[in-house]
Amino acid sequence: MPPRHGGNLVWAAAIAGCTPHEILDFSASLNPWGPSDSVIAALKAVLPTIRDYPDPDCHPLVDALAALHQLPLDYFLVGNGAAELLTWVGRECGDRRQVYLITPAFADYRRALTAFACPIVLIPLGQVQTGFGAIAPFLTPKDAILINNPHNPSGHLWSRHQLQPLLETGALVVVDEAFMDFLPPSASESLIDVVPHYPNLIVLRSLTKFYSLAGLRLGYGVSAPERWQRWRSWRDPWSVNSLAIIAGVTALGDRPFQERTWAWLPPARHAFAAALKAVPELKVVTESKANFLLIQATDSILPLQTYLLRQHRILIRDCCSFPELGAAYFRVAVRRDGENQRLLEGLRAYYQRQ
Ligand SMILES: Cc1ncc(COP(=O)(O)O)c(C=O)c1O
């Protein structure tokens, strides 16, 4: 079975006939500069502490998050990746009248919402791309809406101003900002700072993408403290391990790593998109503000995906798990220049054979 998520290197390696670490992975949108040296060093230093149970309240990490976002400690809940917190979003939404979901949507949203039998209403991205003014009048405090900003897989970014009408409806507004930290603070459209004014708002963040800690699993939520008390009573007490807590504290404190990523991404994304646009069979779909690009091909890309794996050991993310897009679309992470060049060579070679 093809995987529902990017980054499944074991599946890819079986097709490519190599080991998982030999695959050049464009399918998971991870920062190619991480994990940072500081995180690796911190992990090595604390390795012996795995004997002990982790702190269920993730204290040093919550302290760092509170300092970063200038909010009280009890506004934060750390999770085993944003994916764990999405499960509890599903539970929170289980008794809602309707849960609005913008499509195409990250596949895990459906997993979490259907696990708790949430009544899902789909809204195509095109209907809300310029704002939520037309949708907001339909929302009541009995409803919920789940938004991904910047949006995966398109990279579309909504401004805070565009999201504002939703907050006023009283509906539960969940904003998954898993890729927001790829924007520098001056360009961020995060809603974290308004959380104290809106008890109906949940903001989710991931530390696995920007800091390349996908195997360690780490994310957090920002919302009203009463909500977190409820979620704590639902989840297992040690879902976040002690290595992840230390990695998170170290990563958040590594300003040079953050600044290097912010300086690298916009020109790298621009150059990569321009080179992809020059391949006549491909169209870069939207202007992405994140670290990935959505691409439309003239035909199904599944043979291309297999070719790239077998001939070049490169994995791209097909969009079959996004029903609104399907097999003619694929998504690629922006990686280091030499790696992007390898993919471009593979793409050109494939289309020249046609
Ligand atoms: C939009 C979005 N939200 C959340 C996640 C999950 O992130 P994490 O690795 O922190 O569980 C992903 C992972 O691909 C994602 O694309």
Q: What domains lie within the chain, and their CATH numbers?
A: 9-35+256-353 (3.90.1150.10), 37-254 (3.40.640.10)
Rounded distance from Cα 331 to ligand 1 centre (Å)? 15
Query: Is the pLDDT score of 242 beyond 90?
Result: yes
Residue of 85, 209, 291 to mutate, ligand 1, most atoms within 8 A of C-beta: 209
Find the mean pLDDT for residues 254-259. Answer: 98
pLDDT of residue 216: 97
User: Which is the closest atom of ligand 1 to the Cα of 7?
Assistant: 14
Of the chain, the end-to-end C-alpha distance in Å amounts to: 27
Query: Is the pLDDT score of 99 beyond 80?
Result: yes
Residue of 25, 26, 101, 108 to mutate, ligand 1, most atoms within 8 A of C-beta: 108
Share of the chain above pLDDT 70, in %: 100
Task: Locate 217 and state its tokens.
Answer: 């699993």
Band of pLDDT at residue 231, cut at 50, 70 and 90 = very high
Residues with CB under 6 A from ligand 1: 81-83, 106, 148, 152, 176, 178, 206, 208, 214, 219
| pLDDT tens-digit readout, 217-227 | 999 999 999 99
Residue of 8, 106, 317 to mutate, ligand 1, most atoms within 8 A of C-beta: 106
Residue of 5, 85, 208 to mutate, ligand 1, most atoms within 8 A of C-beta: 208
Query: Is the pLDDT score of 1 beyond 80?
Result: no
pLDDT of residue 5: 80
Distance, C-alpha 8 to centroid of its chain: 15
Rounded distance from Cα 350 to ligand 1 centre (Å)? 30
CA separation for the pair 42, 101 (Å, rounded): 39
Band of pLDDT at residue 353, cut at 50, 70 and 90 = confident
User: Which is the closest atom of ligand 1 to the Cα of 106?
Assistant: 1
Rounded distance from Cα 214 to ligand 1 centre (Å)? 9
User: Which is the closest atom of ligand 1 to the Cα of 178?
Assistant: 3
Rounded distance from Cα 185 to ligand 1 centre (Å)? 20
pLDDT of residue 284: 85
Angular region, 50: left φ>0, alpha ψ -120 to 50, beta rest: alpha
| pLDDT tens-digit readout, 257-308 | 999 999 999 999 999 999 999 999 999 887 899 999 999 999 999 999 999 9
CA separation for the pair 302, 161 (Å, rounded): 39
- The answer for residues whose C-beta is within 8 angstroms of residue 24's C-beta and 6 or more apart is 312, 313, 314, 315, 335, 339, 342, 343
Torsion of CA 47, 52, 53, 58, to 10 degrees: -50
pLDDT of residue 213: 98
Band of pLDDT at residue 3, cut at 50, 70 and 90 = confident
Rounded distance from Cα 82 to ligand 1 centre (Å)? 6
Q: What angle do CA 58, 251, 49 make, to 5 degrees?
A: 50
Q: How many residues does the chain have?
A: 354
Task: Locate 159 and state its tokens.
Answer: 């401004």
Helix (H, G, I), strand (E, B) or coil at 43: helix
Find the mean pLDDT for residues 179-204. Answer: 98
Rounded distance from Cα 5 to ligand 1 centre (Å)? 9
Which of 184, 191, 141 has the alpha carbon at shortest distance from 164?
A: 191
Which residue puts its alpha carbon closest to atom 2 of ligand 1? 178
Helix (H, G, I), strand (E, B) or coil at 336: coil
